[in-house]
Chain A
Amino acid sequence: MVVMSATTLGTLELAALLTVARLGNDAYGLAVRRDLTERTGRDYSVGAVYTTLQRLEDKGFVTSRASDPLPVRGGRSRRHFTLTGAGAHALREAERHTASIWGGIGTSIRPEPA
């Protein structure tokens, strides 16, 4: 039996959570979006990225804080995101699920290593 819980992540949520984990202190919306675009080849809108990060925060996988206002942003702050313990747990669970799904797939299907 598979229990569907708040730890279930969508594709973009998983990608965004990994990006936050990877960028560390530099994980603010614009940087997350650029990293996602580079790695996935898809052009996500700014609104879509923030909606996803907000959902992750609502689930407790990240926390956010506002930086000081910056002139280049028209006097607005950057919103930095940080991985929480629950978020790290969710990533481990997602990796385990993925490995379980890929298990038993022949080498002809498996993607080439990067």
Chain B
Amino acid sequence: MLHVTPRMRDCIGAGARARVTAPRTESPPLPERVLLRLGVDPDFTDAVLGDLAEEYALRALRDGAGTARWWYSREVIRSAPHFLRSSFRYACRYERVRLAAFLGALVLTALAVLITLSARDGPPARLAGASDTVIVNSREPVQLPVQVLDAAGHVLHITGVRYQWVSGAPLHMSAAGRVACEQRGDALVRASFGALRESFLLRCRPIRRFVDWRGGLWLAVGDSAQELPIRAVGVDGTPETMLAGSAIVRDSDIASLRGLRVHPKAPGATLVDVWVGGIVDVIPITVSKRVSTSDALRPFEFFASPLRLSSGQTRRWHIPVGSYFVSFRSDTAASATAAALTLSTVGATCSRFGDAYNYFCLAAKDAALVISAPGGTSGAREFSGYLAVRRN
């Protein structure tokens, strides 16, 4: 006669779960928490977990925590079928259905993953390069980027694409697609893989160098984006505007790149690395925040103001100790010799930087920029201009 034990209850219920508490000595590894969620009989789970914890503590002291954890994980996995057996045997109908559904979902998921992986790559269906036109700016040999795709558009990692010059400028190109552009020119190239064919226009635009950017790009927080000033020189010495490469901003907290447009984000300085044709250009980017006065300018802040002075009038702007870029422009009359506003300094040294309107200044203590309107004998006159002071 089968002896009915207290464990063979009709329905334990979803709320009855074994206490899953961590051993006092060391934390149980993850497999326990994952596997033991499947157990329904709390007495069985409690007894097994207790034994595991007790032996784990002993092994941790005797053999070390690492060995104990390895043993613990292995025992949990080995005991998993017995948890499932206990669950199916002693749980109520609802619990069994739920557990069976969970196991079924697990098996179906595994099957789906296997089927997806095995059916992922189909046979070659077409060839595709970066676009119908390939621009090569490098003077060194480069690999043409045609790839083999299946019908679903997945890239098949297989070799064997063959390239052939069809027409246009002569090229140094191998059958495997290594091409060296030594001079400017366009050529029609055909790529083939078995019965698949694809033609594209190869535009050789080798560059020699980038135009040197002194000072880089200056932006103000809140302003709209500006185009990255990339200027390259071709091997023939003429400007080259057909460029293909990549650009990345080093600190995206200060500025971000979308295509070739730089978006200011926060005050600071960063660099943009531009790769074209195997040549790297580094463009400094400075983002400043506009403030209303010049007295307390901090690094990466700028002050700007339109100027309007009467004859003989002088205005003074105090600036803290530091280095600055100052832009000053006076609106003059048609004649270059006509009277105009002048810029002078007190306690600071400035030298022209770049063009006629920009200065690099070093300010000592109690320094000031002074704008003066010329005094005249022919009556009052208004002078206008613009002043911007940017602290580095």
* Chain A residues whose C-beta falls within 8 Å of the C-beta of B46 in the assembled complex: 76-77, 79
* Cα distance A30–B50 in the bound complex, in angstroms: 9
Residues A76 and B82 in contact, CB atoms below 8 Å apart:
no
The 8 residue pairs across chains A and B that have the minimum distance between CB atoms: A47-B79, A47-B82, A60-B3, A76-B50, A45-B78, A73-B50, A79-B47, A74-B53
Chain B residues with CB under 8 Å of A46's CB are 48, 51-52, 55, 75, 78-79
Interface residues of A in 58-110 (CB under 8 A from B): 58-60, 66, 70-79, 86
Is B2 touching A51 in the complex (CB atoms < 8 A)? no
* Known pairs A60-B1, A76-B19 / 18 extra A-B pairs, C-beta < 8 Å: A29-B51, A30-B51, A45-B79, A46-B48, A46-B52, A47-B78, A47-B81, A54-B7, A57-B5, A59-B2, A70-B54, A71-B24, A72-B54, A74-B22, A74-B49, A74-B50, A75-B21, A78-B47
A62 to B79, CA, bound (A): 22
User: How far does the alpha carbon of A31 sit from the alpha carbon of B51 in the complex, in Å?
Assistant: 9
Q: Count chain A CB atoms within 10 A of each CB in B3, B7, B55, B78 and give the residue with the most.
A: B3
Q: Are A76 and B53 in contact (CB under 8 A)?
A: yes
Chain A: interface residue total (CB-CB under 8 A): 28
B8 CB-CB contact with A under 8 Å: yes
Select A47's contact among B8, B24, B25, B80, beta carbons within 8 Å: B80
- Contact check, B79 vs A73: say whether CB atoms are below 8 A apart: no
A-B contact pairs, 7 of them (CB 8 A): A29-B51, A57-B3, A72-B53, A74-B24, A74-B50, A76-B53, A79-B47
Considering only residues 76-102 of chain B, those with a C-beta below 8 Å from chain A are 78-83, 85-86
Q: Is B229 an interface residue (CB 8 A)?
A: no
Judge if B43 is at the interface, Cβ distance under 8 Å. yes
Closest Cβ of chain B to A70, distance in Å, is: 8
Cα–Cα, bound, A72→B1 (Å): 38
Specify which of A50, A57, A76, A86 lies most central, judged by the most chain B CB atoms within 10 Å of its CB.
Answer: A76
A56 to B285, CA, bound (A): 79
| A50 touching B44, Cβ below 8 Å | yes
Asked, given contacts A46-B48, A48-B79, whether A58 binds B2 with beta carbons under 8 Å apart, the answer is: yes
Q: Which residues of A contact B19 (CB under 8 A)?
A: 74-76
A6 is an interface residue with CB less than 8 A from chain B: yes
* Distance, CA A77 to CA B144, complexed state (A): 70
Question: B341 near A: Cβ within 8 Å?
Answer: no
Q: How far is the CB of B310 from chain A (nearest CB, A)?
A: 88
Q: Which residues of A contact B31 (CB under 8 A)?
A: none
In the bound complex, CA of A51 to CA of B269 (Å): 68
For B25, the chain A residues whose CB sits under 8 A away are: 72
Question: Does B23 make an interface contact (CB < 8 A)?
Answer: yes
Contact of B24 among A30, A66, A72, A86 (CB under 8 A): A72
B57 at the interface (CB under 8 A from A): yes
A29, B48: Cβ atoms under 8 Å? yes
Is the pair A78, B5 in contact by a Cβ cutoff of 8 Å? no
Complex Cα distance, B28 from A75, in Å, reads 14
Q: Which of A28, A60, A78, A79 contacts B43 (CB 8 A)?
A: A79
Q: Which residue of A lies closest to B52 (CB)?
A: A46
Cross-interface CB contact of B47 among A50, A59, A70, A75, cutoff 8 Å: A50
Q: How far is the CA of A29 from the CA of B53 in the complex (A)?
A: 12
Closest beta carbon of chain A to B48's beta carbon, Å: 5
Complex alpha-carbon distance, A76 and B320, angstroms = 71
Q: Which residues of A contact B48 (CB under 8 A)?
A: 29, 46-47, 50
Interface centre among A45, A47, A50, A72 (most CB of B within 10 A): A47
Is A30 touching B55 in the complex (CB atoms < 8 A)?
yes
Task: Give bound CA distance, A60 to B4, whole Å.
Answer: 8
> Is A76 in contact with B21, judged by CB distance below 8 angstroms?
yes
The docked-state distance in angstroms from the alpha carbon of A30 to that of B25 is 18
Q: Which residues of A contact B55 (CB under 8 A)?
A: 30, 46
**In contact, B8 and A58 (Cβ under 8 angstroms):** yes
Within the complex, which residue of A48, A60, A73 is in contact with B54, where a contact is CB–CB below 8 Å? A73
* Chain A: minimal CB distance from B88 (Å): 12
Chain A proximity mask over B250-261: 1 for CB below 8 Å, otherwise 0: 000000000000
